[in-house]
Amino acid sequence: MAGMIRGVLPVLHTPLLEDETIDRDALAREIDWCYEVGADGVCGAMVSEVLRLTYEERGELTRLMAELSKGRGVVVASVGAESTRQALVYARQAEEAGCDAVMAIPPVTTAIPEAALWDYFATIARECALPLIVQDASSYVGNAISIDFYRRLLDEFGAEKIRFKPEASPIGPNLSALRDATAGQALIYDGSGGILLVDAYRRGITGTMPGVDLLDGIVALWNALRAGDDKATYRISFPISALVALQLQAGLDGFLAIEKYLLVKRGIFTSAQRCTPHAWDLDEETQAEVDRLFDRLMQALADE
């Protein structure tokens, strides 16, 4: 299904029990809901808390993503790690689980030189049979990846093997720069959580990888963009953008706290438990604003 890695591909949040182990029942509900509202697949990535899961839990998440998807869409596993050897272990797990692609961020504990970064991504690409999505997660962690580096990867491995999820600021101009530097050959995914989706779509992205919490809104927004319906596009995008702006103020933990809160509010998760420690908790005033904006999004969707 490599050619079908496009459209709305939400990044799953990992539901946790009180002891911080994976809640399989809640994960099944989450994946079912993704497909019910029109997702084209599911992904594991930063907001799946992959960097905070144990080795065993990360492998379990990859297996469950594929198992619980039941062929309803593509499955993209997160394999980025602090060493090439670790990344290859995760990539082999993804292959064995039946995933359709892998996505990797660079190592984040040290700023490695470009030659070492090339060896890291090139080795994953050569030794893993699945398409590789190169994720610049510098909005959360690590350093930005250059456009020239992306272009070199594309020239070496081709567009079906290597795809891109650039998240370095400014995101929109960087998307256009990558598109233009590769003569439109690069397959690019938006990773802004929805706040920049309208702009990114108009720059020629292949798909978007938001969180699950606002997925019904993101699917409706994607469909409005495809239909060229500007009225619906902006009616839906404004509350989504305002919600994501609240998440952005606290970085990764801002996304996790608000997104899991909304999944509990929707009845998909029974707990907003996150891996500990974390840097930020949802305060009452932010929660009240999240509730107000969520109501506005639900009204916008009801008006469609």
Q: Kindly tell me if the per-residue pLDDT of 138 is higher than 90.
A: no
The Cα–Cα gap between 158 and 96 comes to: 24
Average pLDDT over residues 258-272: 98
Q: What ranges do the domains of the chain cover?
A: 2-227
**Is 209 marked as a binding-site residue?**
yes
Average pLDDT over residues 147-162: 96
Banded model confidence at residue 4, pLDDT cuts 50, 70, 90: confident
Q: Which of 131, 202, 148, 149 is nearest to 171 (CA)?
A: 202
**For the chain, what is the mean pLDDT?**
95
Q: What is the pLDDT of residue 144?
A: 81
pLDDT digits (tens, 9 = 90+) for 17-39: 999 999 999 999 999 999 999 99
Task: Give me 149's structure tokens.
Answer: 């580096």
Assess contact for 163 and 135: CB atoms under 8 A. no
**pLDDT > 70 in the chain, percent:** 97
Average pLDDT over residues 152-178: 94
Q: Kindly tell me if the per-residue pLDDT of 2 is higher than 60.
A: no
Instruction: State pTM to two decimals.
Output: 0.96
**2-227 in CATH: which number?**
3.20.20.70
**pLDDT > 90 in the chain, percent:** 91
Q: Kindly tell me if the per-residue pLDDT of 179 is higher than 90.
A: yes
Q: What is the pLDDT of residue 112?
A: 85
The CA-based angle 112-115-120, given to 5 degrees, is: 75
Banded model confidence at residue 1, pLDDT cuts 50, 70, 90: low
Banded model confidence at residue 108, pLDDT cuts 50, 70, 90: confident
Describe the strand order of the beta sheet including 189-190 as a list of residue ranges. Answer: 7-8, 207-208, 189-190
pLDDT digits (tens, 9 = 90+) for 186-204: 999 999 999 999 999 999 9
pLDDT digits (tens, 9 = 90+) for 37-88: 999 999 999 999 999 999 999 999 999 999 999 999 999 999 999 999 999 9
Q: What is the pLDDT of residue 143?
A: 72
pLDDT digits (tens, 9 = 90+) for 219-253: 999 999 999 999 999 999 999 999 999 999 998 99
